[in-house]
Amino acid sequence: MKYMNKSIEELHELLKNKEVTSQELIKESLELSHKVQEEYNAFVTILDDAKGVEVTDNLLSGIPYGIKDNYSTKGILSTGSSNTLKDYVPFFTATAIENLTKSGAVPVNKTVLDEFGMGGTGTTGHTGIVKNPWDKTRMCAGSSAGSAASVAAGVYPYATGSDTGDSIRKPAAYCGIVGYKPTYGMISRYGLFPFASSLDHCGVLTRNVTDAAIVVDNMKGIDENDMTTWDSKNIHLKESLTGKVTGKKLCYIKELCDINMYKNPTKELKEHLENFQKSLEICRNLGIEVEEVSVDKTLLNALASVYVVISCAEATSNMSNLTGLIFGPRGEGKKWDEIMKDYRTKGFSPLIKRRFVIGSYVLQAQNKDRYFHNAQRVRRLLVDTWKNLFKKYDAVILPVGSGPAKPLDGSKDILDKDTVALEEHLQIGNFGGFPSITIPNGFIDGLPVALNITGNCYDDENVLNIAYAIESKMNYKNQIASEVNHD
């Protein structure tokens, strides 16, 4: 690896000074892609015919990157990691990707995700499981598993992701990198295969906060094809990274961060929460005020169910277009409904079918108020609670998950009731459409762990700047995964 471990700005300097060509970068990235594919199974497609482009003043020009395979890319296989679209080649490109292309960015592969983003393990894509480059026996988390693994493994400086519950920010944490989803509507979703439209966000996985700012500066923008986008031309993420954070105020939530809240905490959880407190000390040393706040535990414990209800309901409807009649492999049968049923039965994994059943159930007339409408009410309560915090604090800082990446064998995959809220609180960022960024903040048993900073809508510059300042005082910036030894 000569170049691909470098940051975007470093690569841009090299390109500008003609110390390396775009073509050379693409070549290296493609070679690394094949290697990483063999090791970790991170890609659906490697674009071997990718070519170098002219280098302009745009920081992204000429530099390779990866695209999560749920972004529609014209003329390039786009599967959503699902058998239902295993041969689907779109004839239009997602706006966010179009924007990157205009910046001169060069895609070199399409990365594996949990089928249509509906999973958090990176194990349910139709091309098989994605392994964590820090430890092959562990998961990357999902759904942006391939993007996280390849950025962590140093295939390129960044890959796009999408985030409906924590699909960018959790895999980033498990892979020791940065994951950022901006405010809802800052990046167009046109061309992103939908999971749950009111929760879906586009975003990016990088190895440092500056790169995340640069990439989203280039992805964002109002789009006539997505009514939920808004004009962000006055937001300049990269320029906002001053590192000046004195007087900023952060809060963390006692019910999630206090070890005494857990009946039988694991050793990992203890270390994770202790490590988090160390990060808070770093914040204080930066001149940031950090306070503990309390949030109703009942409300926090409801968030995971709220997410399941709303995301499954929207997903059931969003994926009703997958009939195999207009696109996708045609099912067998004499009549259209037989053809459609055959296609869906064969195409979807059991996990997705389970979610469709849940989604359908909660929307049925007799259940709708009890489940769907109640979930929306609790969503509103949670969002209001966070918005109240943002009146006093610049952002909420919390640990991501209950520890490092979980083993793939599932031995620790039993959901501990106690830690559900800690595992799932990133979903609040989706409920409110809040800007939210995960950065690595240490290691447990040689595996990376992370913290998350979530701020109020449209306050992306502030959130990124705080993350940038904290990152600068820690040693996890630009880290490349190196496999831990299991001896």
Partner 1 sequence: MTKYKALIGLEMHCEISETNTKAFSSAKNGSKTSNIDLPNSHIRPVDMAFPGTLPVINKEAVKKALMASIILNCKQPEYIYFERKNYYYPDLPKGFQITQETKPAPVGIYGELTYECKDKIKKVRVNNIHLEEDAASQDHLESSSVINYNRAGIPLLELVTEPDFHTADEAVAFLETMRSIYQYAEISEADSKKGQIRCDVNVSIMDEDLDESDPNNWGTKVEIKNINSFGGVRDAINYEIERQIELKEDGTYDQMEQQTRRWDEDTLSTIYMRGKVDAIDYKYFVEPNIPKIKLSKSWLEEIKKQIPILAPERKEKYIKDYGLTEYDAKIIVKEKAIADFYEETITKGANPKLASNWLTTNILGYLNKYDLNIKDIYLTPQMLVDLIKMIEDRKISTKQSKEILVKIIEDKKEPKTIVKDLGITQITDEAELLKIITEVIKENQHQVEQYKNQPRVLDYFIGQTMKKTRGKANPSLTSKLLKQELDKQ
Q: In the complex, which residues of this chain contact partner 1 (CB under 8 A)?
A: 71-72, 78, 80, 85, 88, 90-92, 94, 189-194, 196-198, 224-228, 313-314, 316-317, 319-323, 325-327, 336-337, 340, 360, 363-365, 368, 372
Least distance (Å) between residue 65 CB and partner 1? 19
Give the nearer residue to partner 1 in terms of CB position, either 92 or 284: 92
Least distance (Å) between residue 68 CB and partner 1? 12
H helix count then E strand count, the chain = 15, 13
Least distance (Å) between residue 365 CB and partner 1? 5
Give the nearer residue to partner 1 in terms of CB position, either 154 or 433: 433
Q: Which two tokens stand for residue 1?
A: 């690896």
Instruction: Name the 3-class secondary structure at 346.
Output: helix
- Of 29, 33, 61, 167, the catalytic one is 167
DSSP state of 404: S
Rounded to whole angstroms, the Cα distance separating 63 from 5 reads 12
Instruction: Name the 3-class secondary structure at 55.
Output: coil
Least distance (Å) between residue 186 CB and partner 1? 14
Rounded to whole angstroms, the Cα distance separating 135 from 164 reads 26
Rounded to whole angstroms, the Cα distance separating 189 from 196 reads 11
Give the nearer residue to partner 1 in terms of CB position, either 262 or 327: 327
Rounded to whole angstroms, the Cα distance separating 160 from 108 reads 12
Give the nearer residue to partner 1 in terms of CB position, either 286 or 319: 319
Q: Specify whether the CB–CB gap between 101 and 108 falls below 8 A.
A: no
Give the nearer residue to partner 1 in terms of CB position, either 80 or 142: 80
Least distance (Å) between residue 372 CB and partner 1? 7
Question: Which residues make Cβ contacts (< 8 Å) with residue 12, sequence separation at least 6?
Answer: 55, 59, 61, 63
Least distance (Å) between residue 85 CB and partner 1? 7
Cis peptide before 320 (omega within 30 of 0): no
First-to-last alpha carbon distance for the chain, in angstroms, is 26
Give the nearer residue to partner 1 in terms of CB position, either 259 or 325: 325
Rounded to whole angstroms, the Cα distance separating 120 from 426 reads 12
Closest CA to 406 of 207, 275, 309, 266: 266
Give the distance from CA 370 to its chain's centroid. 30
Instruction: Name the 3-class secondary structure at 185.
Output: coil
Give the nearer residue to partner 1 in terms of CB position, either 317 or 374: 317
Least distance (Å) between residue 471 CB and partner 1? 33
Rounded to whole angstroms, the Cα distance separating 339 from 308 reads 29
Least distance (Å) between residue 122 CB and partner 1? 21
Rounded to whole angstroms, the Cα distance separating 236 from 427 reads 26
Rounded to whole angstroms, the Cα distance separating 225 from 217 reads 19
Rounded to whole angstroms, the Cα distance separating 38 from 31 reads 11
Residue 143 appears among annotated catalytic residues: yes
Cis peptide before 311 (omega within 30 of 0): no
Give the nearer residue to partner 1 in terms of CB position, either 134 or 193: 193
Rounded to whole angstroms, the Cα distance separating 213 from 471 reads 13
What pairing do the DSSP bridges indicate for beta strands 201-206 and 158-163?
Answer: antiparallel
Residues in a beta bridge with 132: 135
Alpha-carbon torsion angle 281, 286, 289, 295, nearest 10: -50
Least distance (Å) between residue 246 CB and partner 1? 37
- Of 61, 82, 143, 311, the catalytic one is 143
- Of 7, 33, 68, 144, the catalytic one is 68
Residue 68 appears among annotated catalytic residues: yes
Give the nearer residue to partner 1 in terms of CB position, either 51 or 336: 336
Residue 349 appears among annotated catalytic residues: no
Tally of CB atoms within 10 A around 217: 22
Q: Active-site residue numbers?
A: 68, 143, 167
